[in-house]
Amino acid sequence: MRPGGRGRITGARPSGRGNGGPRRHPAAARQNTSPVARAMRRLPGPRLTGLGGGLFCAAVMLMIGCLDQLLFDSSLTVYGVLFLPVCALTALWVRGGDLVIAPIVVPIAFAVGLPTVAEASGGLGGRLVALVTALATHAGWLYGGTLIAGVIATVRRVRLMRRRVAQRRRTA
């Protein structure tokens, strides 16, 4: 044991930690961060498999579609706007090894929830026409959500690769 900063006795620091100076209490470090950063830390950080990410996204979009039909009388704009954060969450919550799946499952999830809000008339043929029409007229939301998921997954993948390279350099 050695005397630490501010007159208290602390244990020896493990190798790899800073080069001296008093240890900061985690609560003191959090006080200096912005409210947005503190709110982001409180969000859950689950790690979903590729299949779990797809099921999460599809289930949430189906639920959003049903709620949109009940609350907003099947507004495709509301459905599209709510699709964007679902894409971001899916890309953030999928495991590092399954990052490639995020931009693939989000368009499928968009199509899963779409029949609940597409205005259909008359039988199976009318439903298919309404689904294809909704996909064609609201493709911007679909492309936007896929782009969001792709960008987030790519950034996460690059950071993961850089972290691995840095770790290999430290051990070599």
pLDDT in tens, 148-157: 999 999 999 9
Burial degree of 8 (CB within 10 A; 0-12, 13-18, 19+): exposed
The predicted model scores a pTM of 0.71
Chain-centre distance for alpha carbon 151: 11
d(CA 61, CA 105): 11
Of residues 35 and 28, more confidence is placed in 35
What pLDDT, on a 0 to 100 scale, did the predictor assign at position 4?
A: 46
What pLDDT, on a 0 to 100 scale, did the predictor assign at position 12?
A: 46
pLDDT, tens digit (0-9, with 9 covering 90-100), for 75-102: 899 999 999 999 999 999 999 889 999 9
d(CA 83, CA 113): 10
